[in-house]
Amino acid sequence: MDIVPLGPGFAAELRGVTLADIAADDTVYAAARAAFEDHSVLVLRGQEATDESQLAFSRRFGPPEVTKVGSLGTGTHFITLTNIGPDGTVVPPDHRYALRNKANQLWHTDSSFKPVPALTSVLSARLVPDHGGETEYVSTRLAFERLDPAMQKKAENLFVWHDYAHSRSQIAPGLASPEERAALPPQCWRMVWKNPVNGRGAIYLASHAYAVEGMEVAAGKKLIDELMAAATAPGTSYVHKWKSGDVVMWDNRATMHRGRPWPAPEPRLMVRTTISATEADGLASMRPPSRQAAE
């Protein structure tokens, strides 16, 4: 297995290895896992992933999420991200699927709004448009390390509220349905996620973040906006241009990403599996002290 760096200080391509190799072999998995901890975004090309091979690969990294209510694939381990409607044609721009794609174009990390946040997301390209539709990544680990020491210290001791309905409301009022709101109450997490393998901290924020615990609303919002802007500064991203057969996995603890638009009439179909974070991934220290004491 060769590791070829791709981005500005993070992201790498794994060559000479397949999803099946990593799923089947402990030694290959250990090497891929070490690369994941180091590089935060891993790209595998030419994989021709099926749902089964993608899930077997993903399970290596931890327990798979069950897809939430309101997403395509609810109740399974798969989320289908597409603009192809149930009748097989591309949906109009005001369709719920298209609005969801638009919400994915806000900088975020996956599942920070869930009771158990995600370690990693694995996305495979099944049908890609000829133009656009890239996924853009930034390292929130490098962003944390760019902060001055006083700001790092401050951030490490702050807790942030995340809400799915908040990010959706930025696209269209009511985009988060009453069922989604009921299933996904706001969650509070430490602003910095420390990786237990290498000890490096990363800013843990997203479009879902709306308030800082113990701070006045406007001041908290301002701090979130400033840190989001610093984390996504021009020149700091890796842009993945998808080819059919690509699989990309990323560390939701140490990156943010956003989808890029593509011409509305072009069909696109991507399948995501998502792996929940466990205590071994540093989850315990992310909980507010009140919840740590209660559990």
Summarize as ranges the residues that interact with Fe ion (CB under 5 A): 110
Q: Tell me which H or E stretch contains 159.
A: strand 159-162
Supply the minimum distance, in Å, between the C-beta of residue 108 and Fe ion. Answer: 6
31 or 106: CB nearest Fe ion: 106
| 116 phi/psi in degrees, rounded to 5 | -120, 115
Other CB atoms within a 10 A radius of the CB of residue 230 amount to 16
**Which residue lies nearer to Fe ion by CB, 18 or 274?**
274
Closer by beta carbon to Fe ion, 56 or else 106: 106
Q: Between 110 and 134, whose beta carbon lies closer to Fe ion? A: 110
Which residue lies nearer to Fe ion by CB, 18 or 109?
109
Residue 142 and residue 158: Cα distance in Å, rounded? 19
Q: How far apart are CA 270 and CA 27, in angstroms?
A: 29
Token pair, residue 258, equals 């956003």
Based on CB atoms, which residue is closest to Fe ion, 13 or 110? 110
Q: Smallest distance, Å, CB 205 to Fe ion?
A: 14
**Nearer residue to Fe ion within complex by CB, 110 or 163:** 110
- Minimal distance in Å, beta carbon 21 to Fe ion? 26
Residue 94, class by beta-carbon neighbours within 10 Å (0-12 exposed, 13-18 middle, 19+ buried)? exposed
Q: How many CA atoms lie within 13 A of 283 on its CB side?
A: 17
Nearest residue to 212 via CA among 295, 251, 203: 203
Least distance from C-beta 260 to Fe ion, angstroms?
12
Residues in the chain, overall count: 295
**At its nearest, how many Å lie between Fe ion and the CB of residue 8?**
20
In terms of phi and psi (left: phi > 0; alpha: psi -120 to 50; beta: otherwise), the region of 267 is: beta
Residue 210 and residue 188 in contact, taking contact as beta carbons nearer than 8 Å:
no
Least Å distance, CB 100 to Fe ion, is 11
Residue keyed to tokens 């901890």: 37
Minimum gap (Å) between residue 74 Cβ and Fe ion? 17
Q: Which residue is nearest to Fe ion (CB)?
A: 110
